[in-house]
Amino acid sequence: MNLNAIQIILVIIVAFLAGMEGILDEFQFHQPVVACTLIGLVTGQLIPCLMLGGSLQMIALGWANVGAAVAPDAALASIASAIILVLGGQGKAGISSAIALAIPLAVAGLLLTIIARTIATAIVHLMDAAAAEGSFGKVDMWHVIAICMQGVRIAIPAALILAIGAGPVKGLLAQMPTWLTGGLSVGGGMVVAVGYAMVINMIATREVWPFFAIGFVLATIQQLTLLGLGAIGLSLALIYLSLSKQGGSGSNGGNGNSGSGTGDQVGDIIDNY
């Protein structure tokens, strides 16, 4: 698929905003489900990009910065894979390959993130010098430059992929042997499964496992739509909140240990987990 000049400019703007939001975290443009959807919106490929973003989002939920360890770059993975999906012109059929390509792109984006943050360290010293001079205008200027640098970190790779054009991308995808595309599809599915497993591992507690089991069973009923599943999930959440507010009598489940517990049985389970 060939993009016109307006679409190219809009894609680069979305990439720039996603890069900035990787640091700001205000409007969540760097989240895969948002970034991919925006790319699909400006390129006219909304449905495939939305499906790609949803799959990548489940993977990115397991990515987090812990201490000095920096997580893979979800913004670059989302933007680059969505652009490749659009330029490839494969539609929904190219989602699996795009997911598999997103992982190495995220790792490559990690290097760009480290470079940008290293440069930002020098900018911090310049801001300190400007603050010592009492020049708040310079402080603001360097702050804006540092944030824009994060946006350029994603915008430049996006522009390079767009500069390659749809023809080479289509040719590259067409030249991939069947065993490679099949392997990418299998690998992409496995990565999504690992993402689900990581999310479940983070939120798994004794009191939420029954809800997981109920949802797992309901998802197998083909007659239920996403709206129906959402309504059931909302209802279960309201029931859970209602029961947690009622609590207990403070006797810790009637085992004779009166005076123990807070009266909120669900809260006591969480505190004692």
User: How many other C-beta atoms are found inside a 10 Å radius of the C-beta of residue 221?
Assistant: 9
Mean pLDDT of the chain: 79
Confidence grade of residue 126 (pLDDT, cut at 50, 70, 90): very high
Q: Residue 173 CA to chain centroid, in angstroms?
A: 25
pLDDT value of position 69: 58
- 41 and 157 part of one domain: yes
What is the pLDDT, as a whole number, of residue 107?
A: 72
Residue with tokens 């690992």: 194
Query: Among residues of the chain, what percentage have pLDDT more than 70?
Result: 75
Q: Which of 176, 198, 222 is the last residue of a domain?
A: 176
Residue 85: phi and psi, rounded to 5, are -60, -40
d(CA 147, CA 145): 5
pLDDT recorded at residue 10? 95
Residue 155's CB is within 10 A of a number of other CB atoms, namely 22
Which of 135, 161, 176 terminates a domain? The answer is 176
* 128-152 mean pLDDT: 91
d(CA 11, CA 155): 9
Classified as helix, coil or strand, 207 is coil
Q: With contact defined as beta carbons under 8 Å apart, do 124 and 108 qualify?
A: no
Q: Percentage of residues in the chain with pLDDT exceeding 90?
A: 25
pLDDT score of 25: 78
pLDDT over 60 (residue 251):
no
Residue 165: inside a domain, yes or no?
yes
- Identify the residue with better confidence: 15 or 214: 15
* In a shared domain, residues 50 and 167: yes
Q: Which amino acid is at 265?
A: Q
Same domain, 129 and 53: yes
Q: Kindly state whether residue 182 falls inside one of the protein's structural domains.
A: no
Collapsing DSSP states into helix, strand and coil, what is residue 66?
strand
Same domain, 156 and 223: no
Q: Which of 159-163, 199-203, 219-223 has the highest mean pLDDT?
A: 159-163
Residue 199 pLDDT: 67
- Domain assignment present for 233: yes
Whether 37 is in a domain gets the answer yes
**106 and 12 co-located in one domain:** yes
- Per-state percent for the chain, helix, strand, coil, to nearest 5: 75, 0, 25
Q: Cα(45)–Cα(90) distance, rounded to whole angstroms?
A: 10
Contact 97, 173 (CB under 8 A): yes
Domain residues for the domain of 43 are: 5-176
pLDDT digits (tens, 9 = 90+) for 10-24: 999 999 999 998 888
Q: Is residue 202 part of a domain?
A: no
Same domain for 28 and 125, yes or no, is yes
> What is the rounded distance in angstroms from the CA atom of residue 75 to the CA atom of residue 84?
14
- The pTM (predicted TM-score) of the whole model is 0.65
CA 231 to each of CA 83, 212, 215: distance values in angstroms, whole numbers, following the listed order:
34, 15, 12
Based on the fold, state whether residues 154 and 245 are members of the same structural domain: no
**What is the number of structural domains in the chain?**
2
Is the same domain home to 31 and 152? Answer: yes
DSSP secondary structure letter of residue 69: B
Which residue spans within the chain are E strands per DSSP? none
Strand ranges (E), 99-239: none
Distances in Å between the alpha carbon of 248 and those of 110, 149, 177, 260?
Answer: 49, 54, 63, 11
pLDDT of residue 191: 60
> Is the domain of 167 the same as that of 230?
no
Least confident of 24-33, 94-103, 111-120: 94-103
Higher pLDDT, 175 or 10: 10
